[in-house]
């Protein structure tokens, strides 16, 4: 029997018990002998064929019956030509010696060829001792339409499955409704964006899923397409999810029409643009920071020379007052403030004119040790304990040791200042495996934490919550980590503490 369409069918011979092989013998259409091709395509030849489909002369005779049906010309494409005569690539069919005409899909066939109308083949091998051929010939005409319909149904099923897979795997949300505003489609993207499982959404009125929020609701755009047939392209809406969270979404809607143009439903596509919004905000922030950096650099340059003169003059004045004199203490206070101003100016230069990164293999444990030595007086005065765990297992990174030390000085100092007396600051480092391996350095305190309002601003220049802070420490640290190809991250819970995490590329492998 032939399985498949005329595009690429295979004829299967029944198993031969004498050979002990239970599987049927497949014979692809491209391997049929000339006798079988002529009989199938042109209806020529004896009713009994004395060679097997593949050319073997063992057994026989073969009495095949072709089961024919009308196959849509749009299906006549594929690796095996619809007409066996076009296999040779010439202009004439070698079986009928007639010219080949072009058909749908670029295939060619001669006019008398019936090969493309064969949907199946049945028959018997050997002598017809029990009149089996008469029975097969009696049912053969009715099998054609049945097999054609089965083939069409299979194709429709495959097309529907393909369409469903495409919709399901779209990189955006898709929601479709019928004329009664009931949900017909709700793909995986819609689940992720709208926060609602499709099983809860299907067949439910769109007005309930999720609840509409004012005139900017994406439901309004979808129902407008359903009611008036208007189309919406990339209109931004604020989508409110059942858990109360919201996110910006670009919504496009269109009516679904039948062949007569009657609206039978509407469809909406939803694209989450929250990451794009964050990127735009980040670009605007970088533009502001760049302008601020240029301004700060020029101001710092102008202030540095006068400050040097002021410091020199104050030092000269201090020599004229003895220790314990009130004027000596006042002059010493002025000198300390001048030194603090100079420190701020130096931070400005560091932030606006960063040094080149001279990366070398550097043990994180060594850099942390250097930072802690520099901060030892302030750590002892605060009464805070530093926990480093098993520092011997910490990784080695490719970094500029001096600049990495500056990062850790800032992070550890901030953690100590945020902690109460008797508190603990934990410093740890480890390798993080995965697609992009990294070396991670964490500094965690048990302090009062950072409020949700302040958390997005901690890396902005001049932002500080301390009375005497410059607001440049974290900004400088963030820039240093970025120039190393890494990221500086922060997590904080008010009342429970803060964790800063420097993630650097792991080049150990």
d(CA 138, CA 128): 15
Using 50, 70 and 90 to split pLDDT, how confident is the model at 289? low
Q: What pLDDT band is residue 465 in, cutting at 50, 70 and 90? A: confident
Average pLDDT value for residue range 353-379: 88
Identify the band that residue 7 occupies on the pLDDT scale cut at 50, 70 and 90: very low
The answer, yes or no, to whether residue 443 has pLDDT greater than 80, is yes
**What is the pLDDT averaged over residues 328-356?**
75
d(CA 35, CA 30): 13
In the chain, count H helices and then E strands: 10, 19
Share of the chain above pLDDT 70, in %: 83
Query: Would you say residue 490 has pLDDT above 90?
Result: yes
| Mean pLDDT value across residues 466-494 | 85
Strand ranges, E, within 170-226: 173-178, 183-186
Domains of the chain with CATH codes: 2-166 (no CATH), 170-272 (3.30.450.20), 277-352 (1.10.287), 360-505 (3.30.565.10)
- Per-residue pLDDT band at 362 (split at 50, 70, 90): very high
Query: What are the beta bridge partners of residue 419?
Result: none
Pairing relationship of beta strands 246-257 and 232-240 according to DSSP bridges: antiparallel
Task: Identify which has the larger pLDDT, 444 or 50.
Answer: 444
Mean of all residue pLDDT scores within the chain: 79
Closest alpha carbon to 497 in 457, 440, 442, 441: 442
Residue 440, Cα to own-chain centre: how many angstroms?
A: 25
What does 401-425 look like in DSSP terms, one character per residue? HHHHHHHHHHHHHHHHHHSPTT-EE
Task: Flag whether pLDDT at 149 surpasses 90.
Answer: no
pLDDT at 214: 46
Peptide bond into 61 cis (omega under 30): yes
DSSP 8-state assignment for residue 460? S
Higher pLDDT, 168 or 107: 168
81-95, 133-147, 257-271, 460-474: least confidently modelled range: 81-95
pLDDT in tens, 215-260: 457 888 888 888 888 888 888 888 777 777 778 888 899 999 888 8
pLDDT at 324: 74
3-state secondary structure of 275: helix
DSSP letter at 207? G
Contacts 24+ apart (CB under 8 A), 429-432: 429/364, 429/365, 429/368, 429/391, 429/394, 429/395, 430/393, 430/394, 430/395, 431/395, 431/506, 431/508, 432/503, 432/506
Which of 10-19, 122-131, 294-303, 402-411: highest mean pLDDT? 402-411
This model's pTM is above 0.85: no
Beta strands 246-257 and 396-399, pairing class: unpaired
Q: Note whether 48 and 61 are within 8 A (CB).
A: yes
């Amino acid at each position: 029997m032939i399985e498949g369409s005329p595009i690429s069918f295979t004829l299967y011979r029944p198993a031969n018990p004498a050979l002990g092989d239970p599987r049927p013998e497949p014979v692809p259409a491209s391997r049929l002998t000339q006798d079988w091709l002529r009989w199938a395509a042109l209806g020529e030849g004896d009713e009994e064929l004395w060679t097997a489909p593949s050319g073997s002369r063992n057994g026989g005779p073969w009495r095949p019956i072709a089961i024919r049906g009308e196959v849509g010309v749009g299906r006549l494409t594929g690796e095996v030509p619809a007409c066996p005569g076009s296999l040779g690539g010439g202009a004439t069919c070698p079986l009928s010696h007639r010219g080949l005409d072009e058909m749908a899909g670029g295939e060619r066939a001669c006019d008398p060829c019936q090969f493309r109308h064969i949907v199946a083949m049945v028959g018997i091998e050997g002598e017809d001792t029990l009149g089996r051929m008469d029975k097969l010939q009696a049912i053969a005409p009715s099998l054609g339409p049945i097999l054609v319909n089965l083939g069409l149904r299979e194709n429709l099923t495959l097309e529907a499955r393909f369409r469903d897979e495409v919709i399901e795997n779209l990189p955006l949300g898709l929601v479709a409704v019928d004329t009664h505003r009931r949900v017909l489609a709700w793909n995986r993207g819609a689940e992720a964006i709208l926060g609602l499982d499709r099983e809860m959404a299907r067949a439910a009125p769109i007005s309930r899923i999720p609840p509409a929020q004012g005139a900017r609701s994406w439901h309004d755009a979808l129902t407008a397409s359903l009611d008036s047939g208007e189309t919406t392209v990339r209109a931004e809406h604020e989508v409110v999810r059942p858990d109360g969270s919201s996110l910006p979404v670009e919504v496009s809607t269109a009516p679904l029409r039948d062949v007569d143009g009657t609206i039978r439903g509407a469809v909406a596509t939803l694209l989450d643009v929250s990451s794009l919004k964050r990127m735009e905000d980040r670009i605007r922030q970088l533009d502001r920071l760049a302008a601020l950096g240029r301004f700060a650099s020029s101001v710092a340059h102008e202030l540095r020379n006068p400050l040097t003169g002021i410091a020199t003059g104050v030092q000269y004045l201090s020599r004229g007052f003895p220790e314990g004199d009130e004027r000596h203490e006042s002059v010493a206070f002025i000198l300390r403030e001048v030194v603090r101003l100079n420190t701020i100016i130096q931070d400005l230069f560091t932030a606006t004119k960063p040094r080149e990164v001279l990366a070398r293999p550097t043990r994180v444990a060594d850099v942390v040790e250097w930072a802690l030595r520099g901060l030892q007086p302030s750590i002892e005065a605060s009464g805070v304990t530093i926990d480093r765990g098993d520092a011997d297992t910490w990784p080695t990174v490719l970094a500029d040791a001096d600049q990495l030390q500056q990062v850790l000085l800032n992070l550890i100092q901030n953690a100590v200042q945020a902690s109460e007396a008797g508190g603990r600051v934990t410093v740890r480092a480890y390798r993080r495996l995965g697609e992009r391996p990294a070396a991670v350095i964490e500094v965690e305190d048990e302090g009062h934490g950072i409020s949700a309002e302040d958390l997005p601003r901690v890396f902005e220049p001049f932002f500080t919550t301390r009375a005497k802070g410059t607001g440049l420490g974290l900004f400088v640290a963030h820039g240093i980590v970025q120039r190393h190809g890494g990221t500086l991250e922060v997590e904080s819970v008010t009342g429970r503490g803060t964790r800063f995490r420097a993630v650097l590329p792991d080049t150990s492998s």
